[in-house]
Protein backbone atom coordinates (compact mmCIF):
# COMPACT_ATOMS: atom_id res chain seq x y z
CA UNK A 1 0.00 0.00 0.00
CA UNK A 2 1.20 3.48 -0.89
CA UNK A 3 0.48 6.62 1.17
CA UNK A 4 0.10 9.86 -0.75
CA UNK A 5 0.14 13.14 1.18
CA UNK A 6 -2.22 15.45 -0.69
CA UNK A 7 -5.63 17.08 -0.33
CA UNK A 8 -8.08 14.16 -0.85
CA UNK A 9 -10.74 16.25 -2.63
CA UNK A 10 -8.24 17.50 -5.19
CA UNK A 11 -6.91 13.99 -5.71
CA UNK A 12 -10.42 12.60 -6.30
CA UNK A 13 -11.14 15.36 -8.84
CA UNK A 14 -7.98 14.35 -10.71
CA UNK A 15 -9.01 10.68 -10.67
CA UNK A 16 -12.46 11.58 -12.04
CA UNK A 17 -10.82 13.55 -14.81
CA UNK A 18 -8.90 10.47 -15.98
CA UNK A 19 -11.28 7.58 -15.20
CA UNK A 20 -14.94 7.19 -16.19
CA UNK A 21 -15.96 5.15 -13.15
CA UNK A 22 -14.94 6.55 -9.73
CA UNK A 23 -17.38 5.53 -6.99
CA UNK A 24 -17.59 5.76 -3.23
CA UNK A 25 -18.43 2.27 -2.00
CA UNK A 26 -17.81 1.99 1.77
CA UNK A 27 -18.46 -1.76 2.00
CA UNK A 28 -16.34 -2.74 -1.01
CA UNK A 29 -14.17 -5.82 -0.56
CA UNK A 30 -11.49 -4.04 -2.62
CA UNK A 31 -10.97 -1.51 0.18
CA UNK A 32 -9.92 -4.13 2.74
CA UNK A 33 -6.46 -3.98 1.11
CA UNK A 34 -6.44 -0.62 -0.72
CA UNK A 35 -3.96 0.19 -3.48
CA UNK A 36 -3.21 3.50 -1.79
CA UNK A 37 -4.33 5.88 0.95
CA UNK A 38 -4.57 9.64 0.49
CA UNK A 39 -3.72 11.62 3.64
CA UNK A 40 -4.37 15.33 3.97
CA UNK A 41 -1.24 16.66 5.74
CA UNK A 42 -3.20 19.55 7.30
CA UNK A 43 -6.37 17.87 8.58
CA UNK A 44 -5.28 14.24 8.77
CA UNK A 45 -8.31 13.16 6.70
CA UNK A 46 -7.70 9.81 4.97
CA UNK A 47 -9.28 8.19 1.93
CA UNK A 48 -8.68 4.58 0.86
CA UNK A 49 -8.55 4.01 -2.91
CA UNK A 50 -8.47 0.81 -4.97
CA UNK A 51 -8.44 0.09 -8.69
CA UNK A 52 -10.95 -2.58 -9.68
CA UNK A 53 -10.23 -5.03 -12.48
CA UNK A 54 -12.34 -7.87 -13.87
CA UNK A 55 -11.20 -11.48 -13.78
CA UNK A 56 -9.93 -11.15 -17.36
CA UNK A 57 -7.76 -8.15 -16.40
CA UNK A 58 -10.01 -5.46 -17.90
CA UNK A 59 -10.13 -2.22 -15.91
CA UNK A 60 -13.58 -1.67 -14.33
CA UNK A 61 -13.16 1.47 -12.24
CA UNK A 62 -11.96 3.06 -9.02
CA UNK A 63 -13.58 2.67 -5.59
CA UNK A 64 -12.87 4.81 -2.52
CA UNK A 65 -14.07 5.60 0.98
CA UNK A 66 -13.03 7.77 3.91
CA UNK A 67 -11.34 6.19 6.92
CA UNK A 68 -11.49 7.24 10.52
Alpha helical stretches, state H, the chain: 8-18
Alpha-carbon distance values, 46 to 8, 9, 12, 67, 68 (Å): 7, 10, 12, 5, 7
Q: Confidence class of residue 68 from pLDDT cuts 50, 70 and 90? A: low
Q: What is the mean pLDDT of residues 25-32?
A: 93
Residue 49, pLDDT above cutoff 90: yes
Which is more confident, 1 or 52?
52
Amino acid sequence: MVVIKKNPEIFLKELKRHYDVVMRIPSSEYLKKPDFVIVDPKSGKKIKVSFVTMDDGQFAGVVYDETS
